Chain A
């Protein structure tokens, strides 16, 4: 079952349904139980470990986390193994920022009450999974992870983890979003407006020059507690910043026009990720798997509906689309 959609009673119910979806699609659940008033879910596949903490009206957790109280949402970190004796955020191999102290993870903010729509995607061939949730109104949030990145050329690594926000910035609110819509940023931009939140909403396990064996993240920050040893950049990043960002083939203009008036369809734009090299230039490393930037903001398709382009079927959301596995 590569795709499922439905509703959930609350964050914990969503966690249960996501766990069941992962099990049904080949992931091993190492742990799923109650922690605090929320849930803890830790899964593995293909040598990749992902630990998640589902917060239901709780205080923000310690690193990595947003702080504050009455928090709803999901925090996620990649790891290199699983130990039943460790907490979700103390497993081996959790990425660290450049200061080698601050843990990095991603977040998917949610709200109190029932969840009116979720969309789960899995691809058994490529070991990828996505969770998209209608947070409120037309605001859709997401969490995705997988074993294999859609690579350009060859490089060592490939595991990836992405959320709507960095873990540290999960509860922050954007004053504006892409294309004038008050929505969450997508696809992964930086930690947040004003560059004041720790971490990265996208982490990729990749060896870059002398930096080996680490997860690297998208970040504009120069702070050693917020950036990784080498930075990644996204072709769709920078949407909330005035300065031009030149570390990839910027596709913002494509996304803005990513629909077709010829056939009232969508024009899915791949999200390219680039990695900072020793010489300061950036190498495109590939495409964020299965997700595309689109522009259907002014109608034509209900959010969450399916659109077929050629032989591919996409589920469309305000600024992005997930391609369903064949």
Chain B
């Protein structure tokens, strides 16, 4: 498993960075700057030839609304100079230096550390890349080696409503001649979304052979997506293709109009939640698969929706009546039904959990549970866990804290815009 932390220059660039990292290119981290100019080093991208090294861009000639920078790689050596306002590319790196209110001065310098690429066994294969916008990315992961785990992302935007988002997909194969949404095994109804924007996006990529996991910071909120296999409580023979596509936005009921600001990262409906605790309204009578931001391809090949409900009433309905074969989704229980994600489905507004006695955080796996409820009975079962994703109490932790469990770093993230102690998760870094 590999981990990268960086900053993208918008929603399409974020996807490009994910593509580069997942396919195994060395990865430039967020640049640092020393100097007086207020311009930016943006659109930093790697190539297949990029190696782990440190790039230093130094202003050698100042100019009004411009300037010239030398480009020096600690391994690759001196490259052609870069000019402010002009897209730059050499064999190893591309970027755009933008002008700011204060011009660069001679000696101003950016430094970008390029980290080593993913281990070969974790690298994904790029099947389609359309730079866009709208961008399209289809990749497949190696899984255990003999697997081919197909996932995809396409971008869309509406300038008027000021949203710039990802739309997620999962497939069972790839056909070059076929459109994105018509690929084999695609989700044919509504798919999960990730609200983003066209400005700077700090990000964390966690890539294994089985899944792509992205956490992205948009302004002050945190978005995430999970693309790939979950860890099923079953053997590969029993459940050969446990593909999960999870985003942070789907809508209960009809989707808003394309011009609606409800698609924006700043919208705060109950459905705007991380895929670790995807929500919808409580006290509904059914969950429609397509209204969920987490979709799982079940063993029969159907895309099921999963949600966590925040309802204090369901526990009463779970075990005090009803059919033991179907508990909790029985007729006696009208508040917690369908396919669930634990522990989000069990938390209530009185959630009183804090860290362990010695102050260490307790991480809980995120477990998918299926039901026998009509019209989509899949059998009562604990299906499996999201790889490297956990719930934890927000007591004693803060956003972007790094907590160590077993010597492994985990990033603490809030549930989009929610920051009470009920609303925190951790993702394993590396």
> Is A25 at the interface (CB under 8 A from chain B)?
no
Interface hub of A181, A238, A263, A283 (most chain B Cβ within 10 A): A283
B360, B382, B383, most chain A CB atoms within 10 A: B382
Give the interface segment out of A61-69, A121-129, A252-260: A252-260
Least CB distance from B191 to A in Å reads 25
Q: Is the CB of B352 within 8 A of A247?
A: yes
Q: Nearest Cβ in chain A — how far from B283, in angstroms?
A: 14
Q: In the complex, how many residues of chain B place their beta carbon closer than 8 angstroms to a beta carbon of chain A?
A: 55
Chain A interface residue count, CB cutoff 8 Å, equals 51
- In the assembly, what is the distance between CA of A281 and CA of B342, in Å? 21
Q: Which of the residues B320, B328, B345, B353 comes within 8 Å of A242, measured between beta carbons?
A: B320
Residue of A nearest to B323 (CB): A180
A-B pair number, CB within 8 angstroms: 160
Contact A282 B380 (CB under 8 A): no
Stretch at the interface among A71-79, A112-120, A151-159, A160-168: A151-159
Instruction: List the B side residues contacting A245 at CB < 8 Å.
Output: 315
Looking at B238, B318, B323, which has the most chain A CB atoms within 10 Å of its CB?
A: B318
Cβ-based interface call for A279 (8 A): yes
- A267 proximity list for chain B (CB < 8 A): 233, 381-382
Task: Provide the B97-125 mask, 1 if CB < 8 A to any CB of A, else 0.
Answer: 00000000000000000000000000000
Q: Are A179 and B319 in contact (CB under 8 A)?
A: yes
Contact partners of A253 in chain B: CB under 8 A: 314, 318, 328, 336, 340, 342, 345-346, 369
Do B346 and A261 touch (CB < 8 A)?
no
The docked-state distance in angstroms from the alpha carbon of A280 to that of B421 is: 14
**Most B CB atoms within 10 A — which of A238, A243, A284, A298?**
A284
Q: Which residues of A contact B350 (CB under 8 A)?
A: 244, 246
Q: Is B275 an interface residue (CB 8 A)?
A: no
Are B315 and A297 neighbours in the complex by a CB distance under 8 Å? Answer: no
**Chain B positions within 8 Å of A269 at CB level:** 382
Contact assessment for A256 and B315 in the assembled complex, using a CB-CB cutoff below 8 Å: no
Given contacts A208-B357, A261-B370, A275-B357, contact A256 B327 (CB under 8 A): yes
Q: Which residue of A lies closest to B362 (CB)?
A: A284
- Tell me, in angstroms, the Cα distance from A246 to B323 when the chains sit together: 25
Q: Contact check: which of A208, A262, A297 meets B234 at CB < 8 Å?
A: A262
Q: Tell whether, in the assembled complex, residue A263 and residue B235 are in contact, meaning their CB atoms are under 8 Å apart.
A: yes
Question: Interface readout for B374-389 with A: 1 if CB under 8 Å, 0 if not?
Answer: 0000111111000000
Interface of B is mostly: loop
**A91 — which chain B residues lie within 8 A by C-beta?**
none
A153, A247, A251, most chain B CB atoms within 10 A:
A153
CB pair B346–A257 under 8 Å, yes or no, is no
Q: Do residues A283 and B319 form an inter-chain contact, with CB atoms below 8 A?
A: no
The answer, among B318, B321, B325, B370, for a CB contact under 8 Å with A252, is B318
Nearest Cβ in chain B — how far from A219, in angstroms? 15
Residues of B within 8 A of A180 (CB): 319-324, 327
The 8 A CB mask of B346-377 against A (1 = contact, 0 = none) is 11101111111111101010010111000000
Most buried by B among A178, A241, A244, A275: A244
Whether A281 contacts B358 in the complex (CB less than 8 A), given A242-B316, A259-B381, A267-B382, comes out as: no
A285 within 8 A of partner (CB): yes
* B343 proximal to A (CB < 8 A): yes
**B239 contacts across to A, CB distance below 8 A:** 262
Contacts of B347 in A (CB 8 A): 246, 250
CB distance from A293 to the nearest CB of B (A): 11
B338: min CB distance to chain A, Å: 12
When C-beta atoms are compared, the residue in chain A nearest to B316 turns out to be A242
Q: Could you tell me if B328 and A262 are in contact, using CB atoms closer than 8 angstroms?
A: no
Chain A CB within 10 Å, residue with most, of B233, B321, B353, B357: B357
Question: Is B232 interfacial (CB 8 A cutoff)?
Answer: yes
Contact B320 A152 (CB under 8 A): no
**Across the interface, do B315 and A257 meet the contact criterion of CB distance under 8 Å?**
no
- Contact A262–B233 (Cβ < 8 Å): yes
Q: Which of A208, A244, A277 contacts B354 (CB 8 A)?
A: A277
In Å, the complex CA distance between A285 and B355 comes to: 9
List chain A residues, Cβ under 8 A from B345.
253
Distance in angstroms between the alpha carbons of A238 and B362 in the assembled complex: 22
Residues of B within 8 A of A301 (CB): none
Q: A180-B319, A297-B324, A298-B325 are in contact. Are A254 and B369 (CB under 8 A)?
A: yes
Cα separation A181 to B234 with both chains bound (whole Å) = 28
* A175-213 interface code vs B (CB 8 A; 1 in, 0 out): 010111100000000000000000000000010100000
CB-CB under 8 A from B312, the residues of chain A are: 243-244
Query: Per-residue CB proximity of B298-326 to A under 8 Å, as 1/0?
Result: 01000000000000111110111111110
Complex contact B357–A155 (CB within 8 A): yes
Indicate whether B395 reaches chain A with its CB closer than 8 angstroms.
Answer: yes
Q: Which of B261-277 contact A (CB under 8 A)?
A: none
Complex-state Cα separation, A66 to B364, whole angstroms: 38
Q: Is the CB of A259 within 8 A of B316?
A: no
- Chain A minimum-CB-distance residue to B383: A262
The answer to the question of A225 belonging to the interface, with a C-beta cut-off of 8 Å to chain B, is no
Within 8 A of A (CB), among B219-276: 232-235, 238-239
Give 8 A-B pairs besides A239-B320, A267-B381 with Cβ atoms closer than 8 angstroms. A178-B319, A180-B323, A181-B324, A249-B362, A252-B315, A254-B367, A257-B382, A259-B380
By a beta-carbon cutoff of 8 Å, the part of chain A in contact with chain B is 152-155, 176, 178-181, 206, 208, 238-254, 256-263, 267, 269, 274-275, 277, 279-285, 295, 297-298
Q: List 30 A-B contacts (CB under 8 A).
A: A154-B358, A179-B324, A179-B327, A180-B321, A206-B357, A242-B320, A243-B316, A245-B315, A246-B347, A246-B351, A248-B353, A249-B353, A249-B391, A250-B315, A250-B343, A251-B346, A252-B318, A252-B346, A253-B318, A253-B342, A253-B346, A253-B369, A254-B342, A256-B328, A257-B380, A261-B380, A261-B381, A281-B352, A282-B353, A283-B354
Closest 5 CB pairs of A and B: A261-B379, A297-B324, A153-B356, A153-B358, A298-B325
| Interface of B toward A, CB cutoff 8 Å | 232-235, 238-239, 299, 312-316, 318-325, 327-328, 336, 340, 342-343, 345-348, 350-360, 362, 364, 367, 369-371, 378-383, 391, 395
